[in-house]
């Protein structure tokens, strides 16, 4: 099917569309329509085209679905209605409470495409308890490899990953296996290479600054164009690609002083679309503001996001397990910080943040569902932005890895794993790019400068050679290979433990479980940790044995764990060093006389 090609260029006096291959393109003059839009001829699916604005260009379509020639080349018409979906029975899945799995398409498999993530791998993830796959950004970006946060064609699917049709096939496969799909979207900025939006209209403004330069224009003259660009983009993923959720990158950088914040507008629009489609649609925000207004309904004056990432929980958990307290981990690492994170979500909830040098955040009301906060022990940022891209599993003991999984998956929050974490992957995930010169060299030099003198030598115990993001080997070394467990004995041990944790998770999902058994964390002795809740996680990370009262049913053990005195009704749980035990206190009596090890 064909449809008239359209583009928003409110200040232009002449817009042309160049149809066909670049060396023999046919020029057609477009006609002005209402509200700054221009309309041209109907173009069939698969047609290449580009725009010229007042004689400048040719430029790709700002709303291009497909960039087969890269971010500087012509766009290609993609008819999203041409795909035959088989997911009519899919009822949808909310992001709230879903075990989420973040993956990078380019490094998850050897081929690095959406089609390469086949039914076998999806079934494997589902069998491990994963319920929602979160894809790192797919919008077209310069070169063939990268994280995707420098995307410039936000309506497109990166051609190296298979283009837009491959995403439809992926979502259809995932739904058939019972997996929801979330897509990471970056609305707060566009990358510097291939960003042609400013050639068409006031998509950006110098009235505000962001870490990436000028802000997207959400509240100045002509802001209707960028606001519509964002809202239309989000609804398109839900409608044309059947996505279940969007993760919104760094929403604190969406500076909007208008009467109605863009996030509130987006939330209301998506809610209406959800009602029309008859399935849940979720918006998950990454926010540094530490303010529950982000997940408060718009009808109550909030911004209406379904959920948000909770970095403070990660910081508290990571610093406690690893002992790292440099940089933004400075206020974390203690049992009191970990306890506050599990009880209150935000450690910085109005008090002083030493990293920021000022008071930060606001308390989360007890009435706010803790599933509205996504927590993790690893993600692309927390691994990839380390000097060497090393994962916690490469440094933690097996027991600490086991504890980490349990402390995330059995928490009161929405849990997220980073690809490979489910089997203890130790290969790094590094920052990699594929920019042309001179930007490529600038990125490499900037990366080296960024990590100079930041205490990494002390952390790693010696000199540090930061991998060059432009070196293809940096990308290749970040691949998982098969996308499944590597198969070592250590991997198998973590995999078996993961299964026990997932099996125990049903106890934490029962109505009233967390009210009866509130979240928290405590130490019996230094490095002898208990996470409180419907399933208690006892983790002995010390060099001495750990003895705790047995106050429920043992539902999982890692390492050497024994139960003594169960016949008296006053049993004791004995944990050797580097052992973990799961005890369901909300799920019946404890087990009589049990000794186990793994």
pLDDT tens, position by position, for the chain (598 residues)? Answer: 578 999 999 999 999 999 998 888 899 999 999 999 999 999 999 999 999 999 999 999 999 999 999 999 999 999 999 999 999 999 999 999 999 999 999 999 999 999 999 999 999 999 999 999 999 999 999 999 999 999 999 999 999 999 999 999 999 999 999 999 999 999 999 999 999 999 999 999 999 988 887 899 999 999 999 999 999 999 999 999 999 999 999 999 999 999 999 999 999 999 999 999 999 999 999 999 999 999 999 999 999 999 999 999 999 999 999 999 988 999 999 999 999 999 999 999 999 999 999 999 999 999 999 999 999 999 999 999 999 999 999 999 999 999 999 999 999 999 999 999 999 999 999 999 999 999 999 999 988 887 766 677 888 888 888 999 999 999 999 999 654 545 789 999 999 999 999 999 999 999 999 999 999 999 999 999 999 999 999 999 999 999 999 999 999 999 999 998 766 557 899 999 999 999 999 765 434 334 444 5
Question: The dihedral of CA 447, 452, 455, 458: what is its sign?
Answer: positive
Torsion, Cα of 96, 154, 279, 373 (10° steps): 10
Report the alpha-carbon distance of residue 312 to residue 353 in Å, rounded: 11
Question: Dihedral sign, CA of 245, 250, 256, 259?
Answer: positive
Task: Answer whether 360's CB lies under 8 Å from 375's CB.
Answer: no
In this prediction, residue 454 carries a pLDDT of 65
Per-residue confidence (pLDDT) for residue 232, from 0 to 100: 98
Task: Enter the pTM of the model.
Answer: 0.95
**pLDDT (tens digit, 9 = 90+) per residue, 507-519?**
999 999 999 999 9
Among candidate residues 150, 172, 249, 422, the one labeled active-site is 249
> What's the pLDDT tens digit per position in 86-141?
999 999 999 999 999 999 999 999 999 999 999 999 999 999 999 999 999 999 99
Name the nearest CA neighbour of 527 among 325, 382, 374, 323: 323
Q: Which of 172, 256, 286, 578 is catalytic?
A: 286
Q: For residue 358, what pLDDT is reported? A: 97
Write the DSSP string, 153-198: BTTS--GGGTHHHHHHHHHHHHHHHT-EEEEEE--S---SSS--GG
CA distance linking residue 581 with residue 402, whole number of Å: 10
Q: Which residues pair with 27 in a beta bridge?
A: 18
Residue 355: C-alpha distances to residues 159, 209, 328 (Å): 40, 21, 5
The question of whether 249 is a catalytic residue gets the answer yes
471 annotated active-site: no
Report how far residue 77's alpha carbon sits from residue 65's, in angstroms, rounded to the nearest whole number. Answer: 7
Determine contact, residues 187/254, Cβ cutoff 8 Å.
yes
Q: How many CB atoms within 10 Å of residue 198?
A: 12
pLDDT of residue 463: 81
Element spanning 61, H or E: none
Q: Do β-strands 572-575 and 579-584 pair in parallel, antiparallel, or remain unpaired?
A: unpaired
Length of the chain: 598
Handedness of CA 294, 296, 302, 305 (dihedral sign): positive
Contacts of 57 (CB under 8 A, 6+ apart): 16, 18, 50, 51, 199
CA-to-CA distance for 572 and 122, rounded, in angstroms?
Answer: 41
Letter string b/e over residues 96-114, b meaning 16 or more CB atoms within 10 A of that residue's CB: bbbbbbbbbbbbbbeebbb
Instruction: Return the pLDDT at 214.
Output: 82
Cβ atoms 126, 495 nearer than 8 A: no
The pLDDT of residue 460: 85
Q: Give the whole-angstrom CA distance, residue 9 versus residue 202.
A: 9
């Amino acid at each position: 099917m064909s449809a008239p090609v359209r583009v928003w260029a409110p200040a232009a006096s002449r817009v042309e569309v160049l149809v066909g291959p670049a060396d023999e393109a046919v020029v057609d003059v477009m006609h002005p329509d209402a509200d700054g839009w221009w309309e041209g001829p109907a173009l069939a699916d698969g047609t290449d085209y580009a725009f010229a604005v007042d004689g400048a260009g040719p430029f790709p379509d700002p709303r291009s679905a497909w960039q087969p020639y890269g971010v500087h080349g012509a766009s290609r018409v993609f008819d999203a209605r041409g795909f035959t979906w088989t997911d009519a029975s899919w009822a949808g899945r909310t992001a709230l409470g879903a075990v989420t799995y973040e993956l990078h398409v380019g490094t998850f498999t050897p081929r690095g495409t959406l089609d390469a993530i086949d039914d076998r791998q999806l079934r494997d993830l589902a069998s491990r308890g994963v319920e929602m796959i979160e894809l790192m950004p797919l919008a077209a970006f310069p070169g063939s490899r990268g994280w995707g946060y420098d995307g410039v064609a936000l309506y497109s699917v990166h051609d190296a990953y298979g283009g837009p049709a491959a995403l439809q096939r992926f979502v259809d496969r995932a739904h058939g296996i019972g997996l929801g799909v979330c897509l990471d979207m970056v609305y707060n900025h566009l990358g510097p290479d291939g960003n042609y939006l400013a050639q068409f209209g006031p998509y950006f403004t110098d009235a505000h600054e962001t870490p990436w330069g000028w802000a997207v224009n959400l509240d100045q003259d002509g802001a209707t164009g960028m606001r519509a660009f964002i809202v239309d983009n989000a609804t398109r993923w839900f409608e044309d690609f059947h996505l279940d959720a969007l993760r919104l990158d760094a929403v604190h950088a969406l500076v909007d002083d208008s009467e109605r914040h863009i996030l509130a507008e987006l939330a209301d629009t998506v809610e209406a679309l959800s009602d029309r489609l008859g399935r849940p649609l979720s918006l998950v925000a990454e926010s540094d503001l530490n303010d529950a207004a982000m997940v408060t309904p718009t009808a109550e004056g909030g911004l209406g996001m379904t959920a948000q990432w909770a970095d403070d929980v990660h910081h508290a958990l990571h610093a406690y397990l690893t002992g790292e307290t440099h940089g933004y981990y400075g206020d974390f690492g203690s049992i009191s910080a970990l306890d506050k994170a599990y009880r209150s979500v935000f450690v910085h909830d109005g008090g002083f943040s030493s990293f920021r040098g000022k008071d930060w955040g606001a308390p989360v009301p007890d009435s706010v569902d803790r599933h509205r906060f996504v927590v993790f022990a690893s993600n692309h940022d927390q691994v990839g932005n380390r000097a060497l891209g090393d994962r916690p599993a490469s440094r933690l003991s097996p027991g600490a890895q086991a504890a980490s999984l349990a402390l995330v998956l059995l928490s009161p929050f929405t849990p997220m794993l980073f690809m490979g974490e489910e089997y203890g992957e130790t290969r790094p995930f590094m920052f990699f790019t594929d920019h042309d010169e001179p930007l490529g060299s600038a990125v490499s030099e900037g990366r080296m400068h960024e990590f100079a003198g930041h205490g990494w030598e002390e952390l790693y115990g010696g000199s540090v050679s930061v991998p060059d993001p432009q070196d293809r080997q940096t990308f290749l070394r970040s691949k998982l290979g098969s996308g499944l467990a590597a198969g070592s004995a250590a991997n198998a041990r973590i995999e078996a433990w993961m299964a026990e944790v997932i099996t125990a998770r049903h106890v934490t999902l029962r109505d009233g479980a967390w009210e009866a058994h509130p979240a928290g964390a405590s130490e019996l002795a230094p490095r002898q940790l208990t996470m409180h809740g419907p399933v208690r996680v006892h983790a002995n990370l010390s060099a001495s044995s750990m003895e705790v009262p047995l106050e429920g049913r043992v539902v999982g053990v890692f390492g050497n764990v024994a139960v003594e005195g169960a016949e008296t009704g006053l049993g004791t749980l004995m944990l050797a060093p580097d052992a973990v035990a799961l005890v369901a206190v909300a799920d019946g009596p404890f087990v009589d006389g049990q000794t186990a090890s793994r």
